[in-house]
A and B are shown apart, each in its own frame.
Chain A
Amino acid sequence: MTEESPEITPKANGVTGPAKPEPPSQAPVGPAPQLEPAADMPLLRIEGVGKTFGSFRAVDRLSLDIRAGEFFALLGPSGCGKTTLLRMLAGFETPDEGRILLGAKDIAQVPPHLRPVNMMFQNYALFPHLSVKDNIAFGLKRAGMARAEIATRVAEMVALVKLEGMEKRKPDQLSGGQKQRVALARSLARRPQVLLLDEPLAALDKKLRESTQLELMDLQRRLGMTFIIVTHDQEEAMTMASRIGVMDAGRLEQVATPRELYEAPHSRWVAEFIGDVNLFDGEVGWRENNRLLVTTREGVTLAVTEPRQRVTKATVCVAIRPEKVKLSRRAPVSDAANSHAINRLEGVVTDVSYLGGLTAYKVKLESGAVVRASMANTARLDMDAYLAGQRVVAWFTPDDCMVLEQ
């Protein structure tokens, strides 16, 4: 077994201690040069990778850098190629073109069993004929680890995912959440340089999913390991990941932190995909200081703050998130200096959905366009709630508007 996978064979002097959180430096087991990549060198570099199935272009010349210790999420609708990309990282698919550099080594053509990368499968793929203990020990045995060392490592992993007392059970005697933990322990046991997670929480119910998200984040921080997660659930990606790559049709639409993705999407597609948004297509009128005046198709003029990158196109799209649209019965009292800067849209409330934490309103403007607004229910007895049919003014500041050129 040693002949097949020299780089994942754990070091002879046991790095395993008693079951306790690992210091980050010990987490990935691999050859020294890959352990500490140069500061400017990412741990994983995907370069122009493409994959075609028949006539379907699953991944289209995609490039991406992932730094060591990062919690990276690939987010996208189903069929966008995110799973194919993950499977190429694991080695189950071979890219038609491009390189996948792990450290300095191109692993694009390396078969899965020789990669210092492990994957947690969506349906967990636990071996039904093996106990929890043997499932976790499976990869360690393959790596040719000594028996005593395997026992220590398994105990450590069992403690890490809090499954003490379950070691002898078979997978079909476990609940969904427990299976998920076994799968996690099994994929972490070999201390991979990168852990790939394919929709790891999709099979759990909502409550369990939320607590597991936090546990995964905590685990990732403690182990200092690089996690790449594939998900179609934007909330999950936003909660856990330090950076998110939004994919569509085999391409990365935007790679950014969750906040940037939400507050400064690059494109109309990303703005619509992440959260709710009101969009107004319009023509750029004149500039004033750092303000742009955009005349929308509906004939309303909106004042927006020009983004850092100057707008070059004449037709743009103004996007505004519903929670940034405020409602009031009368136009807000504006001080003279700012009065021209606040965007006011008059209309009638057509729809009120009470969602507990917030209430979502739909306001039909005089032009016929519908603006969505959501307001936090900060008081239990809300005398300010608006009713359907009521005339209101929807207003927002230029700073809250995003200008999208594509």
Chain B
Amino acid sequence: MARPVNRISPFNITSLALGLAFLYLPIVILVIYSFNASRLVTVWGGWSLRWYTEFFNDRAMLDAAWMSLRVAAVSATVATLLGTLAAIGLARGERFKGRSLFSGMLYAPLVMPEVISGLSLLLLFVALNAERGFWTVTIAHTTLTMCFVTVVVQSRLASIDRSLEEAAMDLGCDPVKAFLSVTLPLIVPAIVAGWMLAFTLSLDDVVIASFTTGPGSATLPIRIYSEVRLGVKPQINAICTMVIALIAVVIVIASFASKLSSLRGESAAPL
């Protein structure tokens, strides 16, 4: 980078501070207010862990949180599995006919408005007469997050030299063993990063989940959303703070995994 850009000037400091404040001030306020003792969201009444205890006593909220975690874990796992296979197919497979069409279709959910995805899935489930609940949300989230996994894993695969697999075959591995013993260890960090990404995406999602869930199986974001409509309770702040903490942890782990993968090979997965 050029020198002048690195120089710390008052202008740079100010714009950095403003930028960070714009991004993180709302979150900081939310976190602070989650420790508010007052019943009124906007009035500060001293420090307290009251709303955290309230959350852990709120059966419905706990169920929703548990539901969200289960959906996120299952859909992230399935999406990682399918997304990795798709990435391998696209990066390593023969140049089959309709390959670019296939990859375009795979990436469609990246740019598709969630309302449309959610609505079309809802129509599908209704047409299939499927009972809406845990599984429908999980399937919907798998379709949403799979393409993200594919992007991460495919870019990692593209950076791995094909001749590594050839060398493994030359040294006595059949193609499957060559993949397992050479390529797979090299893309594991990208797969882990992909899983984490899928997990957080699923945990966040409210639009698709609200289309595809059924009575009695609300995810945490849906539950929060419906509570907020009746007025923001300080308890919501506490829940949001915990979700933020969880996602922060996952993101940190994912970026470490991605770092690790870039240390092992030439370039990192984009994360």
| B residues near A125, Cβ cutoff 8 Å | 161, 163-164, 166-167
B74 is an interface residue with CB less than 8 A from chain A: no
Is the C-beta of B169 less than 8 angstroms from some C-beta in chain A? yes
One of B43-51, B171-179, B229-237 contacting the partner: B171-179
Question: Are B169 and A128 within 8 A (Cβ)?
Answer: no
Cβ-based interface call for B92 (8 A): no
Partner of B172, one of A90, A128, A139: A139
B19 within 8 A of A: no
**Contact in complex: A127, B166 (CB < 8 Å):** no
| Residue B41 lies at the interface, judged by CB distance under 8 Å to chain A | no
| A residues less than 8 Å from B186 (CB atoms) | 128-129
Given A112-B166, A129-B264: A123 touches B172 (CB 8 Å cut-off): no
Report B28 CB to chain A, min CB distance, Å.
Answer: 41
- Contact at A92–B182, with CB atoms within 8 Å? no
Interface residues in B166-219 (C-beta closer than 8 Å to A): 166-174, 177-178, 182, 185-186
Is A112's CB under 8 angstroms from B169's CB?
A: yes
The answer to whether A123 touches B161 (Cβ under 8 A) is yes
Distance, CA A119 to CA B169, complexed state (A): 10
Residues of A close to B164: CB separation below 8 A: 125, 127-128
Residue pair A92, B264 in contact (C-beta under 8 Å): no
Interface segment out of the listed A1-9, A239-247, A254-262, A344-352: A1-9
Provide the bound-state CA to CA distance between A128 and B183, in Å.
10
Verify B166–A111 contact, CB threshold 8 A: no
Q: Nearest chain A CB to B19's CB is how many angstroms away?
A: 36
Give Cα A5 to B170, complex, Å: 12
**Other-chain contact of B170, A119, A123, A129 (Cβ < 8 Å):** A119
The minimal Cβ–Cβ distance linking B124 to chain A, given in whole angstroms, is 42
Q: Does B265 contact A (CB under 8 A)?
A: yes
A386 within 8 A of B: no
Please, how many angstroms separate the alpha-carbon atoms of A143 and B178 in the complex? 14
Distance between A280 CB and nearest chain B CB, rounded to angstroms: 46
A273 at the interface (CB under 8 A from B): no
Residue of B163, B171, B174 touching A138 (CB-CB under 8 A): B171
| Cβ of A61 under 8 Å from chain B | no
**Complex partner residue of A121 from B167, B177, B182, CB under 8 angstroms:** B167
- Determine if A186 is an interface residue (Cβ-Cβ < 8 Å): yes
A324 contacts B by Cβ under 8 Å = no
Contacts of A142 in B (CB 8 A): 171-173, 177
Collect the chain A residues with CB atoms within 8 Å of residue B177's CB. Answer: 142
Whether A82 is near chain B, meaning CB under 8 Å from some CB there, is no
Number of interface residues, chain A, beta carbon within 8 A: 27
Q: B264: which A residues are within 8 A, CB to CB? A: 128-129
Cβ–Cβ < 8 Å partners of B173 in chain A: 113, 142
Q: Is A118 an interface residue (CB 8 A)?
A: yes
Q: Report yes or no: B265 in contact with A128, Cβ–Cβ below 8 A.
A: yes
Q: Are A123 and B174 in touch, CB under 8 angstroms? A: no
Bound-state Cα–Cα, A317 to B242, Å: 87
A133 CB-CB contact with B under 8 Å: no
CB-CB contacts below 8 Å: A66-93 with B: 90-92
Q: Are A186 and B171 in contact (CB under 8 A)?
A: yes
Q: Which of B168, B172, B185 contacts A1 (CB 8 A)?
A: B172
Considering the complex, which residues of chain B in the window 123-172 have a beta carbon less than 8 Å from any beta carbon of chain A? 161, 163-164, 166-172
Residue with the greatest number of chain A CB neighbours at <10 A, chosen from B164, B166, B167, B168: B167
Task: Kindly state whether residue A190 has any CB partner on chain B within 8 Å.
Answer: yes
**Residues in chain B near residue A127, CB distance under 8 A:** 164, 167-168, 182
Contacts of A8 in B (CB 8 A): 172
Complex CA gap A83/B240 in Å reads 60
CA distance A128 to B186 in the complex (A): 8
CA distance A126 to B166 in the complex (A): 11
Residues on B with C-beta less than 8 A from A90 are 166, 170
Contacts of B166 in A (CB 8 A): 90, 92, 112, 119, 121, 125
C-alpha spacing A143/B172, complex, angstroms: 7
A1-20 vs B, Cβ < 8 Å mask (1 yes, 0 no)? 10011001000000000000
CB nearest neighbor in B for A87: B166
Bound Cα distance A113, B178 (Å)? 10
Which B residues touch A123, using CB under 8 A? Answer: 161, 163
The reply to whether B163 and A121 form a contact with Cβ atoms under 8 Å apart is yes
Closest to A1 in B: B172
Query: B178 — nearest CB in chain A belongs to which residue?
Result: A113
CB closest residue in chain B, given A90: B170
With CB as the reference atom, state the residue of chain A lying closest to B185.
A129
Look across to chain A and name the residue whose beta carbon is closest to the beta carbon of B166.
A92
Query: Which residues B87-135 have CB closer than 8 A to chain A?
Result: none
Known A128-B186, A129-B185; contact A138-B168, beta-carbon cutoff 8 A? yes
**How far apart sit A125 and B163, CA to CA, in the bound complex (Å)?**
6
Quote the shortest CB–CB distance from B166 to chain A (angstroms): 6
Q: Which residue of B lies closest to A129 (CB)?
A: B185
Residues in A whose Cβ lies below 8 Å from that of B163: 121-123, 125
Question: CA separation between A92 and B168, bound complex, in Å?
Answer: 12
A129 to B263, CA, bound (A): 10
Shortest C-beta distance, B64 to chain A (Å), equals 42
CB of A4 within 8 A of CB of B172, answer yes
Which residues of A in the span 175-212 have a Cβ within 8 Å of any Cβ on B?
186-187, 190
Docked CA distance A92–B163 (Å)? 10
**CA distance in complex: A295, B225 (Å):** 99
For the complex, give the distance between the alpha carbons of A347 and B170 in Å: 58
Which residues of B approach A to under 8 Å, CB–CB?
161, 163-164, 166-174, 177-178, 182, 185-186, 264-265
Q: List 22 A-B contacts (CB under 8 A).
A: A1-B172, A5-B172, A91-B169, A92-B166, A111-B174, A113-B173, A118-B171, A119-B166, A119-B170, A125-B161, A125-B163, A126-B167, A127-B164, A127-B168, A128-B186, A128-B264, A129-B264, A139-B172, A143-B172, A186-B171, A187-B170, A190-B171
Q: What are the nearest 6 A-B pairs in CB distance?
A: A142-B172, A139-B171, A125-B167, A125-B163, A112-B169, A129-B185
Apart from A111-B174, A126-B167, what are 18 other A-B pairs with CB-CB below 8 Å?
A: A5-B172, A111-B169, A113-B173, A118-B170, A121-B163, A121-B167, A123-B161, A123-B163, A125-B161, A127-B182, A128-B164, A129-B185, A129-B186, A138-B171, A139-B170, A186-B167, A186-B171, A187-B170
